[in-house]
């Protein structure tokens, strides 16, 4: 049993309570709403560590960082809630959702509807669904569950071959991750090719590999509508300035 499967198994005893709390939670803020803006939106991430980078900012204060992201012009906040590999928690998510007016994405290995109930109860606006770790049937089931609970979906792909499955579930947005989950290698060229293939009405979020404004400009040229920025912002003491330096890049509509 994987770490995620063990977490989900432990959640089952709380499923009824989670459903009650999710139903009582306020209506989520819209996630990456259309029509899209003139410039590429910055989705800034709360992230303490990662398998590829190791320790990034173990002492990160999620509320202080999220507020700085909001002041800097981020359009949404992504919160890693996976503990074993990323040092996150659901408390981080609930604290951030209560502290800022931006939509908040729960970023985790979502494999079961109880995790969607958890996200809704904690104040999330959307959940991440990763094509590589879900069967097409499970992806469809979880996407439908998110919709029932008024949550958006960021459906993440790593290869062109995964794109069809992502599009089939009518995601709120497609995430194109330039980092391979198995090898942790970064390939922006591959990501650019996938971004260009996403139909224009569907928002695209470019994930991983964004260190500076030049990377945002490069991904914008490929057709990205948003970029999700984690490590380079999470490690900064002045996160507000870090976000502001990435904003204002003109969005180029895909053909």
How do residues 80-114 score in pLDDT, each as one tens digit?
998 888 888 999 999 999 999 999 999 999 999 99
CA proximity to 227, closest of 42, 74, 31: 42
Q: Which among 50, 107, 113, 240 is annotated as catalytic? A: 107
In a domain, 222, yes or no: yes
The string of pLDDT tens digits covering residues 124-134 is: 999 999 999 99
Note whether residue 95 is domain-resident. Answer: yes
Local structure of residue 198 (DSSP, 8 states): S
Look up the domain containing 105 and give its range.
3-19+35-244
Number of domains in the chain: 1
> Does residue 48 lie within any of the structural domains?
yes
- Candidates 113, 156, 192, 240; catalytic one: 156
Q: How confident is the model at residue 213 (pLDDT cuts 50, 70, 90)?
A: very high
Residue 155 lies inside a defined structural domain of this protein: yes
**Residue 231 pLDDT class (50, 70, 90 cuts):** confident
Q: Cα–Cα–Cα angle for 244, 231, 173, nearest 5°? A: 75
177 is catalytic: yes
Report how far residue 217's alpha carbon sits from residue 189's, in angstroms, rounded to the nearest whole number. 14
Which has the minimum average pLDDT: 87-96, 170-179, 181-190? Answer: 181-190
Strand-pairing partners, residue 130, are: 156
Question: Which long-range contacts link 192-196 to residues 24+ away (Cβ below 8 Å)?
Answer: 192/218, 192/219, 192/222, 193/160, 193/222, 194/157, 194/159, 194/160, 194/163, 195/219, 195/222, 195/223, 195/224, 195/254, 196/222, 196/223, 196/254
Q: Is 189 a catalytic residue?
A: no
Query: Does some domain include residue 253?
Result: no
Tokens of 8: 């989900």
45 assigned to active site: yes
- Looking at the domain assignment, is residue 24 inside a domain? no
Residue 66: give its domain's CATH number: 3.20.20.70
Q: Is 208 a catalytic residue?
A: yes
Tell me, yes or no, whether 30 lies in a domain.
no
Name every residue whose Cβ is closer than 8 Å to that of residue 50 and which is 6 or more positions away in sequence: 56, 85, 86, 230, 231
198, part of any domain:
yes
Catalytic: 47?
A: yes
CA distance 43 to 33: 13
Would you say residue 171 has pLDDT above 80? yes
Q: Which of 50, 94, 143, 177 is catalytic?
A: 177
């Amino acid at each position: 049993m994987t770490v995620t499967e063990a977490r989900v198994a432990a959640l089952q005893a709380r499923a009824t309570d989670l459903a009650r709390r999710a139903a009582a939670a306020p209506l989520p803020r819209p996630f990456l709403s259309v029509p899209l803006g003139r410039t590429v939106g910055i989705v800034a991430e709360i992230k303490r560590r990662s398998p590829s980078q190791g320790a990034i900012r173990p002492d990160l204060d999620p509320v202080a960082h999220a507020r700085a992201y909001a002041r800097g012009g981020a359009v949404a906040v992504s919160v890693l809630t996976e503990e074993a590999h990323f040092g996150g928690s659901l408390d981080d998510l609930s604290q951030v959702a209560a502290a800022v007016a931006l939509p908040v994405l729960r970023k985790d290995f979502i494999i079961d509807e109880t995790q969607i109930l958890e996200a809704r109860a904690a104040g999330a606006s959307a959940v991440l669904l990763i094509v590589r770790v879900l069967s097409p049937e499970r992806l469809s089931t979880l996407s439908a569950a998110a919709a029932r609970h008024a949550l958006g979906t960021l459906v993440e792909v790593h290869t062109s071959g995964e794109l069809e499955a992502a599009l089939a579930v009518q995601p709120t947005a497609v995430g194109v991750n330039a980092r391979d989950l198995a090898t942790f290698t970064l390939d922006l060229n591959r990501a650019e090719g996938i971004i260009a293939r996403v139909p224009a009405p569907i928002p695209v979020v470019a994930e991983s590999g964004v260190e500076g404004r030049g990377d945002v400009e490069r991904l914008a040229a490929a057709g990205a509508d948003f970029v999700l920025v984690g490590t380079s912002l999470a490690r900064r003491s002045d996160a507000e300035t870090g976000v502001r330096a990435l904003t204002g890049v003109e969005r180029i509509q895909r053909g």
